[in-house]
Amino acid sequence: MHEEAVPEATRKMLATLWERNLPVVKARVEELHKAAATAASGALSPEDRSSAEGTAHKLAGSLGMFGYKHGTEIARELEQMLEGLEVLDANRLSVLTQELRAELKL
């Protein structure tokens, strides 16, 4: 849906919901940032990896509703990286986390 096609009342409601959910979004992005840092040190446990995967999944599912299509794409890529059993590319994980933070202006 194009932004100009969205009624003003809907835009205001979404802006209010975004502000209300912003602390949760920030906490989720911070969790991904910590997971990336831990992965870079080679100490990301399977439990932490699974938790970060769930966090990325939640972000991928919600950011589009607030107009962050690219944020959803980044979160999906993070989720896909984290769900596998192969060795993580810690550098790519870090880059994507930074891109997500920049996209959301956090």
Residue with tokens 């979404």: 14
- Counting as low any pLDDT under 50, the low residues of the chain are 1-2
Q: Output the domain CATH number for residue 20.
A: 1.20.120
Residue with tokens 């959910």: 21
- The C-alpha atoms of residue 104 and residue 90 are separated, in whole angstroms, by 21
Q: What is the pLDDT of residue 2?
A: 44
Domain that holds residue 41: 3-103
Q: Are 79 and 53 in contact (CB under 8 A)?
A: yes
**pTM beyond 0.85, yes or no:** yes
> Within the chain, what is the greatest distance between any pair of CA atoms?
48
Number of domains the chain is built from: 1
**How big is the CA angle at 96 (ends 92 and 98), to the nearest 5 degrees?**
115
Contacts of 64 (CB under 8 A, 6+ apart): 71, 72
Q: What is the pLDDT of residue 4?
A: 58
Query: Computed over its alpha carbons, how large is the radius of gyration of the chain?
Result: 15
